[in-house]
């Protein structure tokens, strides 16, 4: 398994550690802003999940406000809503994994605010989302969509507040870290004041974070991903539920994360173009019906952070997941436990049928910019061969139970 291809690109080297070591004692970063390309000045924050929590608090909503959120998203968003003292109201999604404006229009009257999640780097229909919300606050969760555009305008700049993430595996992969963008001066002042009151990491925490980020990155990269990392992550995911136990640690951004983020921002457009090129290859060469893929609508520009494929059944999805790993290719089935977890912990009423179907039938394959051309070709040929074999022998799915 030395050659097991990771699903995500995690980058953190000894060179990175050396480059930030001298800045660990510099506390001037507390007042620094971060300039994101095409977006403008943003306030750095400990993580994207903290950004969602702080954004909700900055809106000065009444206690127990009803916050719309897509069922298909990272469940730490649900926890952030609850931690802020509010109640999530689940909205269905379209086949592009982003908010269903039809379902939103049915539920908007009962909402006090909305979190619009740009899933996998695709983009919500923000024009209609804002129209439906009719002036009510809209937070854009752009954790996965940095660099994605709608009619030339960056995601994260349409709503009242935009939240970005630099967690390992993202485009700006700094370990943790994130940023908040807000064009409203009053809300922006509240954001800045709140964030600057948060505790700063001490030097011991900074050093521990550097070491942990380096080790985690090595485990998520070749060759350790195949030898050890993938096994450790399976055990970790079984023990830690992202539905209710994943921590939201309030605090200011690590100095090292801020410095690394500033360095990586310079290469953002180049990384996105490399990843889009890999996605273009899949779109052209995978022998699957187009409805199984996410195509860019006119006027949209996707950063292609992830490449999801929508299969016909949970059994088929699991079949391809197992087959890929047998060929040394990692894949993921994001947020599989969301449905029951949201029902148990957040009173989800099981009224988001499209999201539920996608949660059971979506497989994410590697598309990241670190892939070699031969990796992309291997992944494509493996899927195409399996599709051809499966077409002639559907009984192969008989051994696969609903997952």
What is the pLDDT, as a whole number, of residue 21? 84
Question: What domains sit in the chain, N to C, each tagged with a CATH number?
Answer: 14-203 (3.40.640.10)
| Cα separation values, 93 from 154, 185, 353, Å | 21, 32, 9
Residue with tokens 């960056």: 154
337-340 contacts, C-beta under 8 A, 24 or more apart: 337/75, 337/241, 337/242, 337/243, 338/71, 338/72, 338/75, 338/243, 339/71
From 117, 129, 111, select the one nearest 71 (Cα to Cα). 117
Cα separation, 156 vs 148, in Å, equals 9
| Contact present, 45 and 51 (Cβ < 8 Å) | yes
Cα separation, 76 vs 73, in Å, equals 9
User: SS3 of 138, please?
Assistant: strand
Q: Which H helix or E strand runs over 95?
A: none
What is the pLDDT, as a whole number, of residue 13? 93
Q: Which residues of the chain have pLDDT under 70?
A: 1, 26-31, 238-245, 392-403
Cα separation, 66 vs 59, in Å, equals 13
What is the pLDDT, as a whole number, of residue 222? 94
What is the pLDDT, as a whole number, of residue 400? 52
Beta pairing, strands 138-141 & 113-117: parallel
| Contact present, 39 and 167 (Cβ < 8 Å) | no
What is the pLDDT, as a whole number, of residue 402? 41
| Contact present, 194 and 245 (Cβ < 8 Å) | no
User: SS3 of 242, please?
Assistant: coil
Cα separation, 364 vs 308, in Å, equals 4
Tell me how far apart the terminal alpha carbons of the chain are, to the nearest angstrom: 25
Classify burial at 75, counting beta carbons within 10 Å of its beta carbon; exposed 0-12, middle 13-18, buried 19 or more.
buried
Provide the whole-model pTM. Answer: 0.94
């Amino acid at each position: 398994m030395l050659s097991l291809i990771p699903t995500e690109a995690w980058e953190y080297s000894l060179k990175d550690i050396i480059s930030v070591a001298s800045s660990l004692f510099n506390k001037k970063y507390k007042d620094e802003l971060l300039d994101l390309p095409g977006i403008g000045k943003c306030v750095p924050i400990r993580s994207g999940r903290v950004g969602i929590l702080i954004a909700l608090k900055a809106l000065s909503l009444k206690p127990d406000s009803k916050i719309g959120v897509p069922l298909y998203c990272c469940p730490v968003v649900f926890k952030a809503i609850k931690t802020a003292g509010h109640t999530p109201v689940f909205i269905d999604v379209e086949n592009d994994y982003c908010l269903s404006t039809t379902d939103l229009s049915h539920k908007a009257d009962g909402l006090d605010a909305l979190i619009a999640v740009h899933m996998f780097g695709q983009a919500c229909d923000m024009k209609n989302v804002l129209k439906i919300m009719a002036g009510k606050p809209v937070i854009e969760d752009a954790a996965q969509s940095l660099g994605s555009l709608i009619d030339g305008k960056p995601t994260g700049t349409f709503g009242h507040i935009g939240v970005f993430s630099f967690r390992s595996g993202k485009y700006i992969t700094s370990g943790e870290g994130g940023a908040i963008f807000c064009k409203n001066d009053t809300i922006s002042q509240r954001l800045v004041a709140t964030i600057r009151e948060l505790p700063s990491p001490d030097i011991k925490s900074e050093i521990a974070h550097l070491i942990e980020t380096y080790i985690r990155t090595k485990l998520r990269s070749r060759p350790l991903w195949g030898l050890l990392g993938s096994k450790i992550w399976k055990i970790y995911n079984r023990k830690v539920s992202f539905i209710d136990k994943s921590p939201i640690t309030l605090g200011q951004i690590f100095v090292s994360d801020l410095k690394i983020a500033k360095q990586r921002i310079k290469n953002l457009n180049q990384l996105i173009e490399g990843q889009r090129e890999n996605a273009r290859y899949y779109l052209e060469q995978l022998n699957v019906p187009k409805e199984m893929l996410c195509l860019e609508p006119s006027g949209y520009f996707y950063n292609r952070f992830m490449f999801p494929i929508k299969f016909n059944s949970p059994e088929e999805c699991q079949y391809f997941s197992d087959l890929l790993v047998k060929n040394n290719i990692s894949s993921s089935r994001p947020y599989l436990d969301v449905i029951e977890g949201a029902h148990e912990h957040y009173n989800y009423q099981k009224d988001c049928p499209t999201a539920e179907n996608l949660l059971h039938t979506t497989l994410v394959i590697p598309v990241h910019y670190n892939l070699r051309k031969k990796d992309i070709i291997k992944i494509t040929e493996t899927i195409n061969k399996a599709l051809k074999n499966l077409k002639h022998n559907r009984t192969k799915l008989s051994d696969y139970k609903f997952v």
